[in-house]
Every structure is written in structure tokens, then in C-alpha cells.
Amino acid sequence: SQQGEEDPQALSIQEGENATMNCSYKTSINNLQWYRQNSGRGLVHLILIRSNEREKHSGRLRVTLDTSKKSSSLLITASRAADTASYFCATSFVQGAQKLVFGQGTRLTINP
Amino acid sequence: DAGVIQSPRHEVTEMGQEVTLRCKPISGHDYLFWYRQTMMRGLELLIYFNNNVPIDDSGMPEDRFSAKMPNASFSTLKIQPSEPRDSAVYFCASSLGGESAFFGQGTRLTVV
């Protein structure tokens, strides 16, 4: 499978703390993306990092990419109760065209 | 743009019946993805299209599943005949150039 795998599967922290989620994948990619899903809703795109980039920031989000280890991490700083959701990494690679495959996700709970 | 529009939002059907799920992608997007989400299997890519052409349908579970994209603004996913194990949330997503994907709200299918 060329699917990304997130670690941990579930994470529970206190509001204000930082949350780190990891993603590993198996093949060469064009880019790696992170998405968020609130319960019962569709996924929302958070950030995209290209294969030639090592780090990217967006607000309280920081994403790193290590292509030699085929891994990425998502850091959410100063977490808020509203950050409670599932977070997915998705790898985009060329197989005919740009295939987008998701991992199993990390369930993040922020305790007030 | 109203985003990716899926219909219906909920569908309850009896085993053996035909089910058709519909999707209207964001105007101008050239990629369309169909995903299925369950607790057991996570978010599975069923099929995706590029410029209305099916590129990879290897994720379609059985011949009971079929998908079409007759034009750039409409796609269908059909299950015939439906079975209880097809119960899941089905998502449609579209993107431009295979980058950030925008998801619909999903169709929750229950086959009884």
C-alpha cells in the first residue's frame, strides 16, 4: 500500500499545550497534505508541503517533511478546544495522474 | 463557488436496491475523487478522474460499484445491487492540478 500512516492513532492533551502528529509513507511523492475532519463533516485542507520543501508554516501549524525517511509531522501550537478533530495526512504521487491517498488519521482531543 | 456539492446527504435503502450518489465538483477543477469512509477501513480511495477520464479504479471494491463522469460538472457513483456492508460515508472531492482537494459534505449510506 502507498498509504500514509499516522502516529499516534489518538492523542489527548490539555488546552494550551502543543500537539504533534506524525505520518509515514512508502513511495516517492509529489507533495504531502494535511487535512482536518470534524465529526460527521467533510475533510478540510490545512496545508500542503512539496517534496522539495522541508518545513512550512501556516498560523499555529507547522509541517515538516523528511523525504529520506519518508515521514512528515504536523505540529499545532498553543492548542485550543476547537482544535479537537481528526487529522489526516495524504500523499500525492503520480500514477497515471496525481493520485491522492489518505492515512488512517489521528484523533486529537483537547481538554479544557 | 458553493464548493463541492453531494447529494443526497443521507440515503437509507434496502439490500438489493440500486443506489446512485451524485457529485458536482468545483467549477474549473480537473480532478475528481470518490472516497469511502468507515470506522474499520478508514478513508479509502475508490476511483478518481482527471479531465473526466477515469484514471484509477483499483479501489472499487466489486463489480457492483461503477462511477461515471459524463462532463466536467457532474459525477455519479452507483452501487447495484447494494449490500449491508456497503454502509459507509461516501465523499466526493475535487482539486485543481491534483493539489489541495476540496471535499463535499458526504453521503451517509445505510443499507438495511
Confidence of residue A2 (pLDDT cuts 50, 70, 90): very low
Residues B98-107 have pLDDT tens digits of 889 999 999 9
With 80 as the cut, is the pLDDT of residue A36 above it?
Answer: yes
CB contact under 8 A, B91 and A42: yes
Q: For residue A103, what are the contacts with CB-CB under 8 A and spacing of at least 6?
A: A3, A4, A5, A6, A23, A25, A88, A89, A90, B42
Residues A83-92 have pLDDT tens digits of 999 999 999 8
From CA A86, how far away is CA A39, in angstroms rounded?
8
Residues A68-111 have pLDDT tens digits of 999 999 999 999 999 999 999 999 887 656 888 898 999 999 99
Which residue is listed with cell 519518508? Answer: A70
CB contact under 8 A, A42 and B101: no
* Cell representation of residue B4: 463541492
Residue ranges of chain B with pLDDT lower than 50? none
Contacts of B32 in chain A (CB under 8 A): none
Q: What is the mean pLDDT of chain A?
A: 92
Which of the residues A58, A91, A98 would you substitute to probe the B interface, choosing the one with the greatest number of B C-beta atoms within 10 Å?
A: A98
On whether the CB atoms of residues B31 and B12 are closer than 8 A, the answer is: no
| Burial of residue A81, with CB atoms counted within 10 A of its CB: 0-12 exposed, 13-18 middle, 19 or more buried | exposed
Confidence of residue A1 (pLDDT cuts 50, 70, 90): very low
The DSSP bridge pattern shows strands A55-58 and B31-38 to be unpaired
CB contact under 8 A, A104 and B106: no
Of B43, B102, B106, the CB nearest to A102: B43
Output the pLDDT for position A3. 64
CB pairs under 8 A between A and B: 70
From CA B106, how far away is CA B84, in angstroms rounded?
18
With 50 as the cut, is the pLDDT of residue A6 above it?
Answer: yes
* Cell representation of residue A50: 512539496
From CA B82, how far away is CA B27, in angstroms rounded?
31
Output the pLDDT for position A95. 64
| Burial of residue A61, with CB atoms counted within 10 A of its CB: 0-12 exposed, 13-18 middle, 19 or more buried | middle
From CA A98, how far away is CA B81, in angstroms rounded?
31
Contacts of B94 in chain A (CB under 8 A): none
